[in-house]
């Protein structure tokens, strides 16, 4: 995925779930790094892809098209589905908006949960290049909020799943499928913002009230917001608030 040009945040994404490598279900979890960042269900489903969500203000970002889904590798569009409801808030049996791309080695990547009406205008059979726009992050189908579900299969028989990440508990692959695999814990600052009032996070799927402001009068109350990714228990963050005259508040 990539940050749209009209998005002013430092970054726009975080990872919630990886592939579940423990075949037992439910409540038996193991991602590629032997951690619990995945899920399964009582029906016996073990999560089969990578879930990347937007942050901060996920609905605001979706409504403003801030997070674009792009092709991880070149290939041919072999299927696409659009026109589905895109503000799902819980597990359901709805259909999703998605693009399916087959690569030169026969492997197939699914890009799912996209925003209704945002998909590429290209048709089934057309080729896409690496990094080409496929759609906007949404919450269509079986989804609890805006995110991308990225799922990879070895070929069109759909008998061998791929977890692109190499790690101790990934028995599917002997090497990473990423050009440059990101670390399992990948902390970052998605945004550092000032607000005229505390941001409001209504119930799903109502858009957040961000109250973002960069202009204040004397004696105004300023709310400082730091929006982090992958922060770890026990870590410290050092913050400094500097006045307009460069003195430290």
pLDDT digits (tens, 9 = 90+) for 95-127: 999 999 999 999 999 999 999 999 999 999 999
Per residue in 152-197, pLDDT (tens digit) is 999 999 999 999 999 999 999 999 999 999 999 999 999 999 999 9
- Report pLDDT digits (tens) over 27-52: 999 999 999 999 999 999 999 999 99
pLDDT confidence bin for 16, thresholds 50/70/90: very high
Give, in words, the CATH class of 1-186: mainly beta
Q: Tell me: the pLDDT tens digits for 56-91? A: 999 999 999 999 999 999 999 999 999 999 999 999
At residue 244, the pLDDT reads 85
The pLDDT assigned to 221 comes to 96
| Residue ranges of domains in the chain | 1-186
Which among 45, 65, 225, 218 has a CA at the least distance from the CA of 133? 65
Burial class (CB in 10 A: 0-12, 13-18, 19+), 161: middle
209: tokens are: 């009230």
| H or E element in which residue 51 lies | strand 50-54
CA distance 10 to 190: 5
């Amino acid at each position: 995925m990539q940050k749209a040009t009209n998005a002013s945040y430092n970054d726009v994404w975080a990872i919630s779930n990886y592939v579940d490598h423990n075949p037992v279900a439910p409540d038996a979890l193991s991602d590629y790094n032997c951690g619990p960042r995945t899920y399964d269900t009582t029906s016996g489903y073990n999560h089969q892809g990578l879930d990347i969500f937007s942050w901060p203000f996920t609905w605001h970002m979706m409504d403003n098209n801030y997070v674009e889904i792009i092709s991880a590798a070149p290939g041919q569009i072999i299927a696409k589905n659009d026109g589905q409801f895109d503000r799902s808030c819980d597990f359901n049996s709805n259909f999703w908006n998605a693009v399916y791309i087959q690569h030169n080695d026969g492997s197939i990547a699914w890009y799912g949960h996209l925003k209704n009406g945002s998909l590429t205008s290209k048709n089934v059979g057309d080729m896409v290049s690496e990094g080409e726009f496929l759609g906007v992050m949404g919450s269509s189908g079986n989804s609890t909020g805006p995110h991308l579900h990225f799922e990879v299969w070895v070929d069109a028989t759909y008998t061998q799943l791929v977890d692109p990440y190499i790690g101790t508990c990934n028995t599917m692959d002997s090497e990473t499928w990423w050009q440059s695999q990101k670390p399992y814990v990948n902390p970052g600052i998605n945004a550092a913002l000032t607000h005229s009032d505390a941001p409001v996070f209504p119930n799903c799927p109502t858009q957040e009230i961000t109250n973002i402001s960069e202009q204040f009068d004397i004696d105004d109350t300023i709310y400082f917001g730091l929006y982090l990714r992958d922060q770890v228990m026990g870590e410290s963050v050092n913050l400094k608030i500097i006045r307009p005259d460069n003195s430290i508040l």
